[in-house]
Structure 1
Amino acid sequence: MRFLKAPTLFLVILSLTLCSATNKGGYWPSWAQDYFPPANIETTFFTHVYYAFLSPNQDTFQFEIDDTTASALNSFTTTLHQKNPPVKTLFSIGGGSFGTQIFSYMASSPDSRGSFINSTIQVAREFGFDGVDLDWEYPQTQTEMDNFGLLLDEWRVAVNEEAQSTGNSKLLLSAATYYKPVIPWDVVHTYPVESINNNLDWINAMCYDYHGSWDVTATGYLAALYDPNGDVSTSDGLQSWINAGIQREKLVMGLPLYGRTWTLQDPTVDGIGAPAVGLGPGNDGAMLYSEVLEFNAQNNAKVVFDEPTVSYYSVVGTSWIGYDDVESVKLKIEFAQSLSIGGYFFWTVVGDQEWRISQLGTHSILSFCTLLRRHGLMKT
């Protein structure tokens, strides 16, 4: 038996952790069709792309797809499957503006859950999707969390049975979740981690929006890796999921491609937590990452990388923007890799500027995988 030398063994181990297991996702919002169609997505930087969003009927919990939407869905899957390289496609259900009530009703009984589940499978197969993503923001009580778990149990059974009966590959199942497994609002309630482990392929933990338009009295970091003064951070959120027992490969870290904005009370007091009097530039206090860079350049903004939180902010007069940039995202991806979790995703792919952030994790991973192939240590 020939033993591998230490450097070779090290490369093989890294190949398993970096080249095979990393989920690199991106959400594509359907309202971007006119200015950023799916054909514009550079699939080199992603493994999975999500169509956001579809919503079920509030009475039947089934999906009613009109001709315009059907055309968009077909175009989405066909375009991304034919790209080089191709990516897996999922359609995401709900979203932040959809609310919780319909999901709560749907998940509350076996009949309504079954109606919803069967319709998701039908839509996925009809339009050529590889899977389905549930974006329920968020279950409001422990009863809703328990019903969420029942939904996942039954969904997995239905997906397995459909694949077995048709010979098709199993549909992927994922869910967008709160950044922690415990939601502390009103009555504390906890995600059904055991059901997630048993039934989902992964969760997309939304590790952003720690501060925003709902709190206009002070500036705040959007998606800090660390919180020097508390536990509202990506590092705490991911570790909380791991401590709760989630399988690491099923935990995917969210990254924002946008910024949150405030108007400072005093332009000379401009750090994180500075007094503010309202929202800043952008749409309802939000700007795409590409818009942030443009705003900074046009206005000669003061740009600050805040090392304690691993986040950025920029200041122009009384305008204050909190966001992520290249260095903070690099450090977050390295942190995720150090935890051996499943990967990362972006909200949304349309926010980047010339893929300067989307490419970060992929370039290091691709270059490393290329090195392995050159040395004959990894199959193509």
Structure 2
Amino acid sequence: MRNVSVIGVGMIPFGKYPNHQLSDLGWPAVKAAIGDARIDPSRIEAAYCGTAFGGMMAGQRILGRIGISGIPVTNVENACSSSSTAFRQGVLAIKSGQYDFVLVIGVEKLSRFGGGTLPLEREDWEVSQGIVMPAVYAMRARRYMYEFGLSQEQLALVSVKSRRNGALNPDAQMTTEVTLEEVLASRPIADPFTLLQCCPPGDGAAAVVLCTQALAAQFRSDPVHVVASDLTSGTFMPGFRDMTIPDITVRGAKHAYEEAGLGPNDIDVAEVHDAFSIAELMYYEAFGFCERGAAGSFLETGGSDLNGQVAVNPSGGLLSKGHPVGATGAAQIVEIVRQLRGECGARQVKDAKVGLTHATGGGLTGFDHGACSIHIFQR
């Protein structure tokens, strides 16, 4: 199995683009990634495109805009893990020797729905009875608060940190800081969440160019190496489930750490799937950044700040950068690659050498989540 490196990344600022088609969002990110890689587009042998709501042939539609055609294009849907799953497919294709150069795209246009919660699969029993994702995470939050004494203020501090980081990120959808008081006073959504504790939907695209590690130095002096790539699905469990433990992430983290030969203490910077404020706290524990039940104090004492023990969501995360579902995983990878290259300006994590991305999603009856993709990178 061959080693894989990232040689190019690109994305567009996340936001609302009501007058753009999906392909209009995607091709500028692809062009930016190819330019960043300093590679002739003709060298790209295959493309993998992740999108949850983008419709048929999303990858072909995007690549056709910039004259890339005739190569194998695989379109991937895996809920919020769509483009991180596409990235894993690209990694495996290079590892196996099938290709030397691969393009990965993540793209989504959620403004087409006009706002509100995202449509879920009506075939699912709980969805047919009215369950929505803010309610699922709100139940997790309430149980965690009951079990471990997490306060409303500690929960809201996640959003304060995220917006502080997002204010330093020109690609973020939300670029203004907020106070604790503003988070708590914002409109109620699903108890205990207020509006500023829920990720904003929007539109966006991100792209990544991969190649074999042996060839990477021909294009960049600072390639970032992929040292772990894991994808796992939720396990079905009827009846009681401990909602304070994101089992799918715990299992995926174990696999990724084993593949990389690293552990929690080796991670300098992480982009985790903070769709709602409680999620980031639970993922501190799932990845071993702190002990069970200690996430609130870990955050409060600066453990996840830019200069903390492990900088979590320096991009602003989903809460600030936004969550165009199919684009999220690829955008997380863009952020980590830029962090490891030292390109992030005011939000740069000092001496970052190892970074992690984590995208999970797809609530289903009986599953803690549908899919979870975790990647670890090293410079």
Normalised to the residue count of structure 1, the TM-score between the two structures is 0.26
Structure with the greater relative contact order (CA < 8 A, sep ≥ 6): 1 or 2?
Answer: 2
Whichever of the two has the greater Rg, that structure is 1
